[in-house]
A and B are shown apart, each in its own frame.
Chain A
Amino acid sequence: MRTRLGWTHGVFIAASLVLIFLSVRATGADFGETAQFFVRGSLGGPAAWTRTLKEFLPLLMLGTAVLVALRAGLFNIGADGQFTVGALGAAVVVLRLGGASGMLLGLAAGLAFGALWALPAGWIRAYRGGHEVISTIMLNNIARLLTLYLVKGPIKDPDQQGQTTATFPTSTSLPEITLPSGTLVTSGLVVGLLVVVGFWIWERRTVAGYELNLVGANPTAASVAGVSAKRVKLGAMLASGAVAGLAGAIFVLGHEHRFYANLSPGYGFDALGVAMLAVSGVPALVPAALAFAVISTGTASIQTLGVPRGLSGVILGLTLLGVAAVAGARKRIAHE
């Protein structure tokens, strides 16, 4: 599609880059050294790749979740809460039921809990007209407080100091795969990639995928074409929540092997950026999620130089603003 980008867009993006540069300089760190540490810490060698791919998977899946809802014209700001509640569901199951069946049921529970946590937002949007952004912000905070309460008391492991459950039985862990390069990944990565590919094919090849996009692009035309925007929106929100919940389940079953307070460092919000970068097409989710994962592990590794993790927030914020500005120009063209 054509975009009409003015010089102001260029100035805005250049100013963002300068701001990032200045942020690093202001901490007193040497920029060249910082860049070197950044790249080495995120992409230099199997250990770095292991860390980056661990970040990549939740970002990819939550990005997919946000994009599913976005296709129906909905902003699922609640992916973070659905992720957390999905992880909680998986944790509760595998702490009671070990073995492969526990693992599979745990994944299913993640899916179900995530969808359940998205249900009020979807229903309010479809049948009450309340904005999903508001309801999902509320649901995120409720999820955070609910899980905090649970890991402080009811499901806390009494033998541990921190606010955490016991470690899951090893029989419930998702199998790990060692890539030829020596990078260690969870088999959950395969599930995540399958979800992305599945959504891509489904969106392009099925009637339901066509109708999902139709509702997001033009709800009036959708109703004239015999599509119930309400039902599609509710369904999109549930599917979005299910994918986010599954991501949470995979995160605890594949990586953490326990559930603890503030499990997500804000994956759901990074995912909004991932999805915004991928509105042009589902495959773009992969490089977008990878970029955010690299930023996340990269900023983690430059902490030793005295550059705080806050830098990743600055980068995320400027990315969201920049992407929204460019998307705004695109929308204006479509309206002309």
Chain B
Amino acid sequence: MTVELHDITVRFGDVVALDGVSFVADQGKIHALVGENGAGKTTLMRVLYGAVVPDAGTIHVAGSRVSFRNSGEAIAAGIGMVSQHYSVIPELTCLENLILGAEPGWALHRGATIQRARELAAKMGYEFDWAASADRLGPAGSQKLEILKLLWRGSRTMILDEPTAMLSPADSEGLFQSLRSLADQGATVIVVTHRLPEVLQHCEQVTVLRGGKQVGAQPVKNLEAASLAELIVGQQVQARNHGSAIPGEPVLEVVGLRAKGYRGDWAVDGADLTLHEGEMVGLAGVDGNGQRELFHALVGTLPSEGTIRFRDEDWSGQGTARRIADGLRLVPEDRHEEGAVDSWSLVENSILGLQRCPGPARAAWLDRTQATAIAQRVTERFATRHGGLDYPISSLSGGNQQRFVAARALEMSPKLVLAFQPSRGLDIRGSEDVFAAIRSECRAGATALIASFDLDELLSQCDRVVVMSRGKIVAPPRGAEMDRSAIGKLMTEVE
């Protein structure tokens, strides 16, 4: 069945997330929805799934007008969605997860239900131990279970939000084969992605969102990667030259680092990395290849094996506090969870992580005057807009919070700046400012490692780029340190 969304507008407070967006996906086809982070892709799909009620606009499913007040109504209309963070509940069994919310009856007939589950899985060529607890499923297994959950519910329209984010290339390939067979059987498949090769290779239609607006909808056939990329970012991406660093002595030496991910697998699996004084290194890679765990191991919040040496200090046995004292600074991935206390004032947040550094701390005592001075500097560096230093950080907009957290990581003479997606939630100006500031710290003798899923951003901002792939760090060959296609090959494991 064909789904149509017309003139959808969604506001979150003062922010317009979607501005009169239209979107049409035909039955029997794989439709791609692409755009940068924050373009509104997920919000649009949540509207179709009934999880977000739009402020304006219409939805048609199979020709008839519908309006969903919640996901239950969308599910009843044959729409299913697999969100980026799987909805598999690890404490339940695979079977319970499969049928949750769509149980065949009041009482569960186990034998018959398992039989039906087996048949359904067999149709897709999958195999499951249905009685086993779902916590043992890896990312690929969870993804398969999610697809079966949609089928179990009789979904005819399937939305998959960044389905390959956590999958290996082989598993991604398998996923698209499954989606193809579903489309051939008459399903409407919508894939939200930011990976263009997937679009060009597997999808038939594509809709592009930019800044909450629809900027293009066309068949994929005859479309070229470059023009699609241009539609997404709005202008031709070109590398800029910021004057390369003269790398100094090696300062951070990581050898054979191993750290476990939250699923218990070795997410960082023998990573080697050497950073030199004064350089700004980009860490590229597809999401889920161990970047997060690498950062946490370097910060000291995730137990790891192997060696981490920083300027003659052996960090392996040292805790986070020691590493901060040695000059480690972090722009964390999730500022709410890791980088701020939402209810605290800007002054209190400005010394978070720096609370033991001489300056804000005098022996065991806190120096409030110093803290206020730091807050002043932090807010001024990237022109953070705020209502007063005593206001809670939650009163700032998302972008201004990010400016604040990034500026704080450059306080109190940083020696090693680790930044995970530092431009997250920032406009182009803002992200330019942040990268420029990190660069100037590096020119003054610091070292920076910046992780991003946006390769172009890294290529245009960093001195060199390395790639994280399956828990290891690989560097492009000599002479091709900034070669987009060489790095892209490493990311996608193309030989």
Contacts and interface: CB of A to CB of B under 8 A. Distances in A.
Interface of A: 1, 204-211, 214, 217-218, 220-221, 223-228, 334-336
Q: Closest 8 A-B residue pairs measured CB to CB?
A: A226-B321, A226-B320, A225-B353, A217-B341, A334-B343, A224-B338, A218-B341, A226-B324
Interface in B78-108: none
B365 A220 contact: no
Given A205-B366, A224-B301, A225-B353, A334 B340 contact: no
B430 interface: no
B392 interface: yes
B332 interface: yes
Given A211-B355, A226-B320, A336-B394, 6 more contacts: A214-B341, A224-B332, A226-B356, A227-B321, A334-B342, A334-B343
Interface string B341-372: 11110001001110110000100111010000
Given A1-B392, A218-B341, A228-B319, A208 B353 contact: no
Q: Which of A205, A207, A220 has the most CB of B within 10 A?
A: A207
Contacts of B332: 224
B295 to A, nearest CB: 10
B189 interface: no
B312 interface: no
11 contacts: A1-B343, A1-B392, A205-B368, A207-B355, A210-B351, A214-B355, A221-B340, A225-B324, A225-B353, A334-B343, A334-B392
B226 to A, nearest CB: 40
Nearest to B332: A224
Nearest to A330: B343
B249 interface: no
Contacts of A207: 355-356, 361, 364-366
Contact of B320 (A1, A209, A225): A225
A205 B362 CA distance: 10
Q: Which of A210, A211, A227 has the most CB of B within 10 A?
A: A210
Contacts of B352: 214, 221, 225
Contacts of B339: 221, 224
Contacts of A218: 337, 340-342
B299 interface: yes
Contacts of B321: 226-227
Nearest to A336: B394
A205 B365 contact: yes
A193 B355 CA distance: 28
B171 to A, nearest CB: 30
Nearest to B299: A224
A209 B351 CA distance: 13
Contacts of A210: 348, 351, 355, 366
A218 B348 CA distance: 13
Contacts of A220: 337-338
B363 to A, nearest CB: 9
Contacts of B257: none
Nearest to B323: A226
B356 A224 contact: no
B455 interface: no
Interface residues of B, number: 32
Q: Which of A1, A208, A224, A228 has the most CB of B within 10 A?
A: A224
A326 B98 CA distance: 39
Given A207-B366, A224-B299, A226-B353, A217 B319 contact: no
B330 interface: yes
Nearest to A219: B337
Interface of B: 299-301, 319-324, 330, 332, 337-344, 348, 351-353, 355-356, 361, 364-366, 368, 392, 394
B341 A221 contact: yes
Contact of B337 (A1, A205, A208, A221): A221
Contacts of B394: 334, 336
A208 B353 CA distance: 13
A208 B343 contact: no
B329 to A, nearest CB: 11
Contacts of B368: 205
A335 B356 CA distance: 28
A223 B353 CA distance: 9
A225 B338 CA distance: 9
A204 B299 CA distance: 27
Contacts of B392: 1, 334
Contacts of B342: 218, 334-335
Contacts of A226: 300, 319-324, 353, 356
A249 B394 CA distance: 43
Nearest to B394: A334
A217 B364 contact: no
A224 B330 contact: yes
Nearest to B356: A207
A223 B332 CA distance: 12
Contacts of B353: 224-226
A204 B347 CA distance: 13
Given A217-B341, A217-B343, A223 B320 contact: yes
Contacts of B351: 210
B335 to A, nearest CB: 9
A211 B301 CA distance: 16
Contacts of A221: 337-341, 352
A208 B299 contact: no
A205 B363 CA distance: 11
Contacts of B343: 1, 217, 334
Contacts of A208: 364
Contact of B366 (A206, A223, A228): A206
A223 B365 contact: no
A207 B364 CA distance: 6
Given A1-B392, A207-B366, A224-B353, A217 B344 contact: yes
Contact of B355 (A1, A204, A225, A228): A225
A217 B355 CA distance: 15
B362 to A, nearest CB: 9
A205 B356 CA distance: 13
A182 to B, nearest CB: 42
A217 B343 CA distance: 8
Contacts of B330: 224
Contacts of A334: 342-343, 392, 394
Contacts of A205: 365-366, 368
Nearest to B325: A226
Contacts of B361: 207
Nearest to A209: B366
A4 B326 CA distance: 43
A335 B364 CA distance: 31
